[in-house]
Chain A
Amino acid sequence: MKRTASALVLLALVVFAPERARAESVGAGSQEGWSPEGYLLSLGVGVYRPDPGSDAFDRVYPGGNGPIILPEFDFFLYRIPYIGPIGIGIAGGWAGYKGTACQETSAPGTCLPSSDQAKFSLFPLNALVVLRIDALARLTAVPFVFTGKVGFNSVFFKETAGVGKSTGRSHGFGWAAQLALELNFINERRANALDEDWGINSSFLFFEVAGSDANSRAPVGDKFYFTGGVGITF
């Protein structure tokens, strides 16, 4: 019942909040002549390592840090004056690990290596509320943009160890903080042309630290991981 109520409240927020935002165009950039800036697309690559709170993961996948590949799509619902756009985003990706399965007879907390290969794949799916603070880049010459994200992380996982297979899904709270360097300053004339021709307002490089508590049914969350990559707003 509680879950249903929470979902309805969230739905109402998402659907009705933008109605109030109509007074000000969602994507109106502060720079004159820009097309509306309503969406963001990015691709990040980084390291992700499930953190079960013990060395259980290390025993099978020592040194396994992924990599994780995480594309993200955001759409902005409202631009907070002098701060930046706020919206919701969805990110989905993949991370893979290879290791050696342990013999079933291994003593607790140890791993007798077997002849079996073990493969572990994660497919994270994150739904996020995104606040993109671009005032610095829009109102000054400093091309940095800061982004904060909080939301719901759902991680699908699949493990193959010898002839055994395990699959499932786990979820939990997730957060992220991003620092982006907008690249428009390199050649403003071309950046404007890109906007005019394709509607791409800006491209950027980013570095993001994040955490996931997707441990509801299996400890596949990582308290602290990072990604880096490129993105565009349009």
Chain B
Amino acid sequence: MRNGFLFFSVLTAALTALAPTSFGQTEQIDAITKINGETLTSDNADVYFNAQNCADPAATLYDLTLTNGNGITQAYLWAGVQNGLCNENAKRTDTQELCRPMASSTPVNVGDNATIVDLTLQELVDTGIVDCANTALEGQPYEIYAFRSEDPGGNDVTTDGYGVAKFIVDVTPPAPLVIESDLTPAPGSTYNITWATPADSTKIAEYRVYQGDTDDGSAAALTSIRASGTAKSVTVTSGSLNLADGESAYVFVTAVDFASVTLGQGNEGDVADATGTLFTAVGTIGFCDDPSVDCSGCSVSPMSLANGQPASGVWLLGLIFALVSGWRLRR
């Protein structure tokens, strides 16, 4: 017991003594805090540049905020691949193009709130590190190294001398959905369109519904119908599609990925012609609506009769039950 206590005490002391050293080895996490005027929040799990940004990288501006940056007036910026370790001189000078200095790294001024404003995506592209033309389906991760105050030169920089901001470039839209439900369902007033889990299912922000008069997806118009990124189906109704009885419409569903600051403005998959569901609106009836069934008791409230009077029988039974229960409990 005594030995156990001694061991525990030594272990605790060792951990306490080593903790600052261990924590000190963690690199500082910088962040891209604004893209084209849109502020990133804690809702943004990742920072993306999407196809729209890459279409005009020179006009895509972003702000970079440095952690523990108070008092720092200048920074030297480098672009690196994921886990590029650009703080090491060997990685900055090797021939594999793991790290390259950005044009503004001459150095760049750090403004208020330790933020470097109006950097352009073009600078990142110009390093040759960031590929804004081709990315994987779920995007390609990169890093920006911000060396504080001093040019890294030929040195290995310690953790308190730099920070890393991670971002993803994703210009590839989700693939067209594989619709699993019938593309020519029976007429009805509602229809549930289902699809197979997309290859990049964990990176889908939402699904959008388009409506067209023909099976030409490019001519279809966006509706207000949405489904969340985790959905596998969406229900359309004659009302939501503004279809009168007997009218038909082709319904298309597209996926939108997370590659945006504002949810739902990421890369969007094509409205593929082959995925259109021909929905025809007609009124439908159930058992209660069958003309041969006398369902005159149907009412808006199950506790009321058709004419709106309270169901006195039910309440009377409840009263009897309460009376007898009370009587028995008293005994």
Interface residues of A (CB under 8 A from B): 7, 10-11, 14-15, 18, 38, 50, 52, 54, 56-57, 59-61, 75, 77, 88, 90, 99, 101-106, 108-109, 112-118, 120, 123, 125, 127, 152, 154, 156-164, 166-171, 216-219
Contact = CB atoms under 8 A, between A and B. Distances in A.
Interface string B292-331: 1111111111110110000101101100110111011000
Given A104-B245, A114-B282, 4 more contacts: A90-B317, A102-B290, A108-B292, A164-B189
B190 A115 contact: yes
Contacts of B301: 167
B321 A217 contact: no
A61 B287 contact: yes
Nearest to A15: B323
B295 to A, nearest CB: 4
Nearest to A167: B302
Contact of A218 (B187, B188, B285, B293): B293
Contacts of B320: 10-11, 14, 127
A105 B281 CA distance: 12
Contacts of A154: 311, 313-314, 317
B323 A54 contact: no
A99 B290 CA distance: 14
A157 to B, nearest CB: 8
B164 to A, nearest CB: 52
7 contacts: A15-B324, A75-B324, A127-B321, A161-B284, A162-B286, A167-B299, A217-B306
B297 to A, nearest CB: 2
A123 B282 CA distance: 30
Contact of B300 (A152, A159, A167, A216): A167
- Most-contacted residue by chain B among A50, A56, A75 (CB, 10 A): A56
Contacts of B286: 60, 99, 101-102, 118, 120, 159-162, 164, 166
Given A54-B292, A115-B186, A104 B313 contact: no
B289 interface: yes
B58 interface: no
Nearest to B304: A169
A122 to B, nearest CB: 11
B327 A15 contact: yes
Interface of B: 185-192, 237-239, 245, 279, 282-303, 305-306, 311, 313-314, 316-317, 320-321, 323-325, 327-328
A38 B291 CA distance: 48
A169 B302 contact: yes
Contacts of B245: 104
Dominant SS among interface residues on chain A: strand
B245 to A, nearest CB: 8
Nearest to B277: A115
Nearest to A22: B331
Contacts of B297: 168-170, 216-218
Given A103-B282, A163-B237, A169 B311 contact: yes
Contact of A38 (B279, B323, B328): B328
A161 to B, nearest CB: 3
Nearest to A57: B287
A154 B302 CA distance: 11
B188 A116 contact: yes
Given A115-B279, A219-B293, A158 B302 contact: yes
Nearest to A55: B292
B237 to A, nearest CB: 6
Contacts of A105: 282-283
Contact of A219 (B192, B294, B300): B294
A121 B184 CA distance: 29
A14 B288 contact: no
A125 B314 contact: yes
Given A75-B328, A109-B292, A171-B313, A164 B285 contact: yes
A187 B139 CA distance: 68
A101 B188 CA distance: 8
Contact of B285 (A102, A125, A167, A169): A102
Of the candidates A18, A104, A113, the one having the most CB atoms from chain B within 10 angstroms of its own CB is A104
A193 B8 CA distance: 50
5 nearest CB pairs, A to B: A217-B297, A161-B286, A115-B188, A114-B188, A104-B283
Contacts of B325: 75
B328 A218 contact: no
A10 B238 CA distance: 51
- Among A104, A115, A170, the most chain B Cβ lie within 10 Å of the Cβ of A115
A217 B314 contact: no
B298 A167 contact: yes
A65 B73 CA distance: 77
Nearest to B182: A115
A233 to B, nearest CB: 15
Contacts of A152: 313, 317
B302 A156 contact: yes
A224 B311 CA distance: 26
B189 A114 contact: yes
Contacts of A103: 186-188, 282-285
Nearest to B329: A75
